[in-house]
Chains A and B, each alone.
Chain A
Amino acid sequence: MDVFGNLAHGFAVALTPVNLIWSLVGVTLGTAIGILPGIGPALTIALLLPVTYYLDPTAAFIMFGGLYYGAMYGSSTTAILINTPGETGSLVTTIDGNKMARAGRGAAALATSAIGSFVAGVIGTLLLALLAPEVVKLALLFGPADYFALMVVAFAAVSSLLGSSVLRGLVSLFIGITIGLVGIDQQTGQSRFTFGILELQDGLGVVLVAVALFAVGEALFLASRADLRREEIVPVKGRAFMTREDWARSWRPWLRGTLIGFPFGALPAGGTELPTFISYKVEKSLAKRPEEFGEGAIEGVAGPEAANNAAVAGVLVPLLTFGLPTSSTAAIMLAAFQQYGLQPGPLLFSSNSAIVWGLIASLLIGNAMLLVLNLPLVGLWVRLLYIPQPWLYGGISVFAMLGVYGINRSLVDVMALIAIGLLGCLMRRLDYPIAPVIVGLILGPLSEIQFRRAVQISQGDLTVFVTRPISAGLLILAALMLAGAIAAHWRGSRQAATA
């Protein structure tokens, strides 16, 4: 079937009243949690996992997809109005977006980020629809050894591109992989590292670890740092829409941001943060008046906000075609697929094409809904920012506890929540990135399965990883990524030393 046939099939799934409602629920919830600092898409999807267990998988993924997009739309509102990113993907937007708001141009900043997000979301989703079937053909060539090597690339990418140093990224990654070892060995049924505790037989659940790190760890961290708790809301002022000049200065950054964001999300290169930084730098170097950057340049909002939405579409390419998550949200979505007994990858496109194409079509619809939610209705959302911070974090803690305790009503789970929350707080204080932990936790067990399959097929020959061309190429790529990142850090520290 061609792309249009596939998309038509997808729209037939997505346009049913029930699925439209789930899409609306997803984008609305996504916008809300995007706006609220302290609660992001990964945490929300983790908290929803137990509830969606009873839901039809297509509806669940339509909701999750809308939620992920919606979070990117909503986070820019927070970045612009209170100078704090709602999500990490909007960190760059705070620089010029908040300056614009202070100069009374908040409405224009909100508009350029919402329209830019829409442009990028639509183009990105269409690219996803065009590219995914081609990538699936590639994925069909992959054997277990190649899959293992691909996961090594993802490990290298997530630890070298996030966080302040490669070493810290790798430490975070291996903490995640170590946590993932706990529980029953999936191939032999042996229990490992359970310390004789029955509850640990099934392993430490993804929900538990994600909630502990993102909700409890984050709350403890913010409580311990008085300087990070202050915030000030800039009221939206200025005309409700963009001027002719704003449009002229915005449309090129939107397109460039899309073209930067999509490949960075799609390649196993780690999430939505990095492309926003690149987009900002590109816009600054191309601008006629680069001195305006940092003082409220609209290009500095338009480009990065397009980039983070395009990156979300990009992230879905490896997730759906290879089952490879490149951000913590994608990792949690992979766990959601596993909950339904589905394995993302080439077979998903043939055996569950209704889910895949229904999801893609619903993302196009969701983007249209989000444009309405975030442009004319932005004034309503801003009210969310007036929730007092103590009640916001109190509420997040209650939902986190409910999400973990409500599943099994086990006090062991609550103790694990506190312990891993303390670990998360310690990591945040010492500046270790959290996302590699989640990716390691979810990809660790999968990589072990592929590793053992590969060696079993080759009858114990460990050289299989370097003799297969795909696998060897990917392992070299992983090594280059790590080496490149280490070299970049070295050069950075040399320059700082001579300066």
Chain B
Amino acid sequence: MTGRFNAHALVGLALVLIGAGLFISAQEIHVSPAVVLLGPRLFPSIVAVALVVLGVLTIASALFGSRDGPEAGSEDDTPENDWPAFLTALTGPVLFLLTVETLGFAVATALLFAAVARAFGSRRLIADLGVGLLMGLVVLLVFSYGLGLLLPVGSVFDSLLGG
């Protein structure tokens, strides 16, 4: 009950903080003098108050709620956590973000595909990279020639091609 319940209390705390921040920044939204009724501030303020209330309720139910609620049932089957796989999967989109403009869409796609495949248990890195690269190249060609959308080929290759 400790780990899970503390996590919920943290969620509640985050909701309260986000709600408070939202409320404060809602009051700073510029309202033009022409607006007579209900400017752009009111609705965000209501949402902000709701977030704070929900946050307080979440904290309360995490700290004082009965352990026999619906939460109890979901705790029976203890989840098997696999944090290395989680981090590997997360590496995929991050690598894409870091490489798409320099190494190009095809290589970035290969890295994304291989990282996620590895997280899901694949141990054939070269094959995964190959499949991912193929997917990336096909998409690149279809988008460039078929739809006229230019995805980045990669600044590295641009200079190699003398372009």
**CB atoms of A187 and B37 under 8 A apart:** no
Give the contacting residue for A390; candidates B96, B117, B152; CB below 8 A: B117
**CB atoms of B113 and A394 under 8 A apart:** yes
Q: Which of A452-499 contact B (CB under 8 A)?
A: 452, 455-456, 459-460, 489, 492-493, 496-497
Give the contacting residue for A397; candidates B8, B85, B112; CB below 8 A: B112
Residue A289 lies at the interface, judged by CB distance under 8 Å to chain B? no
Instruction: List the A residue with the shortest CB-CB distance to B21.
Output: A193
Known contacts A174-B51, A414-B97, A497-B68, A167 near B149 by CB under 8 Å: no
Q: How far is the CA of A392 from the CA of B94 in the complex (A)?
A: 19
**CB atoms of B93 and A390 under 8 A apart:** no
Residue B11 lies at the interface, judged by CB distance under 8 Å to chain A? yes
**CB atoms of A398 and B119 under 8 A apart:** no
Residue A381 lies at the interface, judged by CB distance under 8 Å to chain B? no
Name the interface size band of chain A.
35 or more
Q: How far is the CA of A322 from the CA of B124 in the complex (A)?
A: 51
Name the interface size band of chain B.
35 or more
**CB atoms of B117 and A391 under 8 A apart:** yes
Instruction: List the A residue with the shortest CB-CB distance to B7.
Output: A430
B105 to chain A, nearest CB (A): 8
Residues of A within 8 A of B128 (CB): 390-391, 394
Residue B107 lies at the interface, judged by CB distance under 8 Å to chain A? no
Residues of A within 8 A of B94 (CB): 418
**CB atoms of A192 and B85 under 8 A apart:** no
Instruction: List the B residue with the shortest CB-CB distance to A181.
Output: B44
Q: How far is the CA of A405 from the CA of B152 in the complex (A)?
A: 11
Residue B20 lies at the interface, judged by CB distance under 8 Å to chain A? no
Residues of B within 8 A of A247 (CB): none
**CB atoms of A452 and B38 under 8 A apart:** yes
Residues of B within 8 A of A220 (CB): 86, 89-90
B133 to chain A, nearest CB (A): 11
Encode A192-225 as 1/0 by CB contact (under 8 A) with B.
1100000000000000000000001001101111
**CB atoms of A188 and B40 under 8 A apart:** yes
B81 to chain A, nearest CB (A): 6
Residues of B within 8 A of A248 (CB): none
**CB atoms of A388 and B151 under 8 A apart:** no
Residues of B within 8 A of A452 (CB): 37-38, 42-43
Instruction: List the B residue with the shortest CB-CB distance to A216.
Output: B93
Instruction: List the B residue with the shortest CB-CB distance to A225.
Output: B79
Q: How far is the CA of A415 from the CA of B135 in the complex (A)?
A: 22
Encode B1-33 as 1/0 by CB contact (under 8 A) with A.
000100110010001001000100110011110
Known contacts A171-B54, A181-B47, A229-B120, A223 near B70 by CB under 8 Å: no
Residues of B within 8 A of A188 (CB): 31-32, 35, 39-40
Q: How far is the CA of A422 from the CA of B89 in the complex (A)?
A: 11
Instruction: List the A residue with the shortest CB-CB distance to B149.
Output: A406
Interface of A is mostly: helix
**CB atoms of B54 and A397 under 8 A apart:** no
Residues of A within 8 A of B80 (CB): 225-227
Q: Which of B100-120 contact A (CB under 8 A)?
A: 100-101, 109, 112-114, 116-120
Instruction: List the A residue with the shortest CB-CB distance to B118.
Output: A390
A189 to chain B, nearest CB (A): 9
Residues of A within 8 A of B122 (CB): 388, 390-391, 394
Q: Which of A145-198 contact B (CB under 8 A)?
A: 164-165, 167, 170-171, 174, 177-178, 181, 185, 187-188, 190, 192-193
Known contacts A398-B109, A415-B97, A418-B94, A226 near B85 by CB under 8 Å: yes
Residues of A within 8 A of B118 (CB): 390
Please name the 3 residue pairs, one residue from A and one from B, whose CB atoms are nearest each other, closest first: A390-B122, A224-B86, A390-B117
Supply 9 A–B pairs (Cβ within 8 Å), ascending by A. A167-B58, A227-B80, A390-B128, A393-B116, A401-B112, A414-B93, A418-B90, A456-B37, A489-B70
Interface residues of B (CB under 8 A from A): 4, 7-8, 11, 15, 18, 22, 25-26, 29-32, 35, 37-40, 42-44, 47, 50-51, 54, 57-58, 61, 66, 68-72, 74, 77, 79-83, 85-86, 88-90, 92-94, 96-97, 100-101, 109, 112-114, 116-122, 128, 131-132, 135-136, 139, 143, 149-152
Interface residues of A (CB under 8 A from B): 164-165, 167, 170-171, 174, 177-178, 181, 185, 187-188, 190, 192-193, 216, 219-220, 222-227, 229, 388-395, 397-398, 401-402, 405-406, 409, 411, 414-415, 417-418, 421-422, 425, 430-431, 444, 448, 451-452, 455-456, 459-460, 489, 492-493, 496-497
List 20 additional A-B contacts (Cβ < 8 Å) besides A188-B39, A398-B139: A174-B47, A178-B18, A181-B43, A192-B26, A193-B22, A223-B86, A226-B81, A390-B121, A391-B117, A391-B128, A393-B119, A393-B120, A394-B132, A402-B139, A406-B143, A414-B96, A414-B100, A451-B43, A452-B38, A497-B68
